């Protein structure tokens, strides 16, 4: 009867795979990686695990992103700047939104894309008028 049995590890020293097949027992290679490794676009082997742990929100795109280049940029002009630049009279400012900054003393008739309520008030008090492309609540 043997007193001490020889360990398996002593018999496997020097062999490349230590008694296992070539692929197994090298970390988590047969599982597709440890943790969330390999759970990218084509993660069919991980889908069930991920859905159990993280729910349905892990895969795919979500949310709405705005296309910033498609937004239309509106140029802005203050009422006071109009008086300084153009003097008085009839103006066609189709690409501009008129804002109420500054003071108006001269009479204007302005054709504009849009205007703030304060700008409409100031122009009308000075005896002028504003014609808008977009209808504003106060101008109706």
58: in domain: yes
Whether residue 127 sits in one domain with residue 101: yes
Whether residue 46 sits in one domain with residue 79: no
pLDDT at residue 137, as a whole number? 52
Q: What is the pLDDT along the chain (140 residues), one digit of tens a residue?
A: 778 888 888 888 888 887 887 776 766 666 667 777 777 777 777 777 777 877 777 777 778 777 766 666 778 999 988 888 887 788 888 888 999 999 888 888 999 989 999 999 999 999 999 998 755 555 44
User: Cα angle at 94 between 89 and 99, to 5 degrees?
Assistant: 75
3-state helix/strand/coil string of 103-126: CCCCCEEEEEEEECHHHHHHHHHC
pLDDT at residue 78, as a whole number? 92
DSSP string, 79-99: HHHHHHHH-SEEEEEEEEEEE
The residue written with tokens 């979500």 in the block is 62
**Residue range of the domain that includes 22:** 18-65
7: in domain: no
pLDDT at residue 118, as a whole number? 93
DSSP tag of 45: T
Whichever domain contains 102, its CATH number is: 3.100.10.10
pLDDT at residue 99, as a whole number? 93
The dihedral formed by the CA atoms of 27, 29, 31 and 32, expressed in degrees to the nearest 10: 120
Question: Among residues 65, 98, 121, which one ends one of the domains?
Answer: 65
pLDDT at residue 122, as a whole number? 92
Whether residue 59 sits in one domain with residue 33: yes
Whether residue 121 sits in one domain with residue 79: yes
The number of domains in the chain is 2
56: in domain: yes
């Amino acid at each position: 009867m043997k007193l001490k049995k020889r360990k398996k590890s002593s018999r496997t020293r020097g062999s490349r795979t230590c008694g296992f097949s070539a692929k197994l027992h090298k970390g988590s290679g047969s599982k597709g990686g440890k943790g969330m490794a390999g759970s990218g676009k084509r993660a069919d082997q991980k889908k069930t695990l991920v859905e159990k742990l993280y729910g349905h929100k892990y895969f795919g795109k979500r949310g709405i992103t705005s296309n910033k280049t498609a937004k239309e940029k509106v140029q802005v002009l203050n009422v006071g700047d109009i008086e300084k630049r153009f003097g008085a009279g009839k103006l066609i400012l189709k690409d501009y939104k008129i804002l109420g900054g500054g003071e108006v003393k001269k009479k204007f008739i302005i054709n504009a894309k849009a205007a703030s309520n304060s700008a409409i008030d100031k122009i009308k008090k000075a005896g002028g008028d504003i014609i808008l492309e977009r209808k504003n609540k106060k101008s109706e």
